[in-house]
Amino acid sequence: MAASLGARVILRIEDHDRGRSRPEYEKRILEDLKWLGFPLDPESLTSLESGPSPFRQQDSEAHYQGVLDALADTGLVYGCTCSRAMIAEEVGDGIVSGQELRYPGTCRDRGIPLGSGVGIRVRLRDEVVTFKDRFLGDRSQRPARQCGDLLIRDRNGNWTYQFCVTVDDLRHGVTLVVRGDDLVSSTGRQILLARLLGRESPPTFLHHPLVYNREGVKLSKRDRSVTLRELREKGMSAPEVIRLARAGGRWREV
């Protein structure tokens, strides 16, 4: 798709969760993508390989802080001391199993100063967001009903996935986001946040199906699912791995 649009494919390391990120994971990703032969944009690749980089979220603290400061100037940002358990208790019986936990706005008007140990949220207007997904077609979402005011930094000081990717898509000039359909519910809120950050037109989104195991569970290391590395060590070539993924990932039958 990128080639047909004359576009670049940038590589971004989304290691905003410090507790779960390791330098060796990044090294592996780079090796695997190179081995697969993905035509990655040399600028992002060189930047990542040469040290601190704007394409690595852990190196972007100053940038995120600057964006937060600008957002705070709009008066839409507030401090929140709620834990997940507190939110769950407050929302109570309204939550159906598997449904997303919607923040009910508990701290909205409490005037909690932003500081250590305090989460940061941004007020989202209650509106319906519509977008045309390149794979799923027309979609509409109402973020205020799904997640409530968006958490942009958690109480431990970690910037959230929603905030980082929206900020990064804007600064890296990303116009097409291709990702798994497990993330489709995040799209409406990211479009709203992008608008608050001054982005006139949001990127185009394409959410593709994921490969599931026989029990219908997304493949992950936790399930001891096969890794790219294992396929490679079994002697599969990069084109074979890509063909397998396209065929629906029935690796057990190979």
Question: Which positions touch Zn ion (CB under 5 A)?
Answer: 80, 82, 106-107
Q: State the nearest-atom distance from the C-beta of 146 to Zn ion, in Å.
A: 17
Q: State the nearest-atom distance from the C-beta of 191 to Zn ion, in Å.
A: 24
Side-chain half-sphere of 95: how many Cα atoms within 13 Å? 18
Nearer to Zn ion, 64 or 103 (CB): 103
Q: State the nearest-atom distance from the C-beta of 85 to Zn ion, in Å.
A: 12
| β partners of residue 139 | 131
Phi, psi of 184 (to 5 degrees): -60, -30
Phi, psi of 29 (to 5 degrees): -60, -45
Q: State the nearest-atom distance from the C-beta of 151 to Zn ion, in Å.
A: 9
Nearer to Zn ion, 32 or 154 (CB): 154
Nearer to Zn ion, 124 or 194 (CB): 124
Rounded to whole angstroms, how far apart are CA atoms 7 and 187? 22
Nearer to Zn ion, 106 or 204 (CB): 106
Nearer to Zn ion, 102 or 207 (CB): 102
- The DSSP code for 150 is E
Phi/psi-derived region of residue 232, left when phi > 0, alpha when psi is between -120 and 50, beta in every other case:
alpha
Q: State the nearest-atom distance from the C-beta of 80 to Zn ion, in Å.
A: 3
Nearest to 99 by CA among 168, 149, 146, 155: 146
